[in-house]
A and B are shown apart, each in its own frame.
Chain A
């Protein structure tokens, strides 16, 4: 092993030194804070070792919010660098790193964990379960995700970030053309968090299929739960492809194999192919749950049941299958024949049909509804037209021959931001506002929420609509600067202004969390929105056992039926409740995986082997564990229920 401190250093850039200092200060701040306030034990007992799906969900969402700001700062830097011709804010290398990590973080470490966080909080409640099927595995999933994300984030200050785009196409991402450790981080950080995601997929499929309350038939499940079920099916079958692709990338970069090389019989295009075999289903992994969130919110605030329930489910099932047969539309220009492009062109356009069905179902749900314009509802209403623009430009891009013109231009960038921001970001923000009172027992302030909404919605269009035009003018994506003669300057400046507006919107959103925590009154009802589904039938904040009595479901909107049709929901007596006990092993496993990844990034073989053995030891310790959990006695449950007050039991 040749130990070379130079490999770890990142040079130049005052920005990087700034990042180093801020990371160091933040870490010291956290450590000092925890010590001064004597919170280490609390942190360990209540959070790091928890197996409670609600707490795990909250941690996912916290991590996602942090990553939203990290990715958002990347975005601001990019927009600033391109705001005017010949800007000198970032150099080319730094710009490459920034757009790469922006994409990676926003998709994999912001959108994904935000959605997984919401499903953790909501799904067991919506199906009337006490927890997920495998609570400990759930903790493993979270810590693998978390430490994968941390591994990617330290790349910026130790050794250098990945810089070959979030799709890391070969041969650019090969050792020959990207000699820094950046793409080693890419392969290992994504691998570790990807394993966590795969485990989440297994966990939620079993949870939804096997843990539903009595009477909750499949076709009585809330639409969000349906969307999560289908999403997790896609996760389980798409993520292994990424696992393989990343492993091969690691072999190419660390062990000199010839998968994606240009010589010796490798095939660089195979990477693009594998990446998108996973990558296209991934798009639906982040968008389908969003469809579920909107379905809940639109039904609740229209005070109607969801229009076209069966066709909603059917269209998601069709999308889940179609999402696996469209991937080549990401590389129409790579050299495959006319028939191939025609096939993928048609299959891509076909996806617009079930998506259109969903749009019309939402519109029909709104029709003649008594609509209340709350913050989550505003996001949902804004989603429909904006997402439709994204969808229609998607059909434009789907036409293979036309795509030769649009390919890799800003038009594409505009398109996928018009799909992913309303389709994922607005949805998780809407879901965040909607379910916040359930988790914390008070609502977010509506006035601040609406301020943030208008800033975000208007600035979004200001930031991204000009990119459509820039793309048609010929500006390609990922160019770090341009000359004044191109005429790209003014529209890019407008886009930068939009990006600033978005930043203001998100700052207001976070300020709202702070303000509401201090001043908002406690919600005693447990059902502040007069909603329809089971999660609102228990107390807020949710007691650790979720439901004192397991509900008996008799219809599609059980809470609504209980409130307005006097249909009894909780018929049994309170008895003792079985709970899983906390464990520190998932956290330790995450830490060990982090070191394994780190040592592999720097080709430090002996420490890597030690860490690998460490992984096996932790797994063995988990296998030998015999913990059967514990019971909460009935009188303690009754006491908790009384203390939380209100509610319906």
Chain B
């Protein structure tokens, strides 16, 4: 019964997400360079997001929509990242000075 209620994939995913959140705290308690901190945050956040997506949300489970879901996600990430980095490019990195 316990095994059926607590499937091992979910338990591992949950523990991993707690560990990754704790690991991200290194940026405030550790002593790394700014660049290293950003890398730590990006890596832990991305892995955690993937955990949710693949282990909990079962993005790949339905065969007849799998391809569409990945394209949808890729398009959303494209637009989101273009908006974030394009805007920063305009107002911060590429600003006339």
Contacts and interface: CB of A to CB of B under 8 A. Distances in A.
Question: CB atoms of A and B under 8 A apart anywhere in the complex?
Answer: yes
B79 to A, nearest CB: 4
Given A273-B90, A321-B78, A327-B86, 17 more contacts: A237-B75, A238-B79, A267-B91, A269-B91, A324-B83, A325-B82, A328-B86, A335-B95, A336-B90, A336-B94, A336-B96, A337-B94, A337-B95, A338-B96, A339-B94, A343-B89, A343-B94
A337 B75 contact: no
Interface residues of B, number: 17
B31 interface: no
Interface string B72-97: 00011011001100110111001111
B68 interface: yes
Nearest to B68: A209
Interface residues of A, number: 23
Q: Is the interface of A mostly helix, strand, loop or mixed?
A: helix
B96 to A, nearest CB: 4
Contact of B91 (A237, A270, A327, A343): A270
A339 B86 CA distance: 12
B88 to A, nearest CB: 10
Interface of B: 65, 68, 75-76, 78-79, 82-83, 86-87, 89-91, 94-97
A260 B65 CA distance: 41
Contacts of B65: 210
B97 A337 contact: yes
B22 to A, nearest CB: 32
Nearest to B76: A237
Interface of A: 209-210, 233, 237-238, 241, 267, 269-270, 273, 277, 321, 324-325, 327-328, 335-340, 343
B91 A337 contact: no
B96 A324 contact: no
Nearest to B64: A210
Contacts of B96: 335-338
Contacts of B94: 336-337, 339-340, 343
B82 A324 contact: yes
B91 A336 contact: yes
Contact of B90 (A241, A328, A338): A328
Contacts of B78: 321, 324
Contacts of B95: 335-337, 340
A288 to B, nearest CB: 15
Nearest to A240: B79
A604 to B, nearest CB: 34
B75 A273 contact: no
A340 B90 contact: yes
Contacts of A269: 91
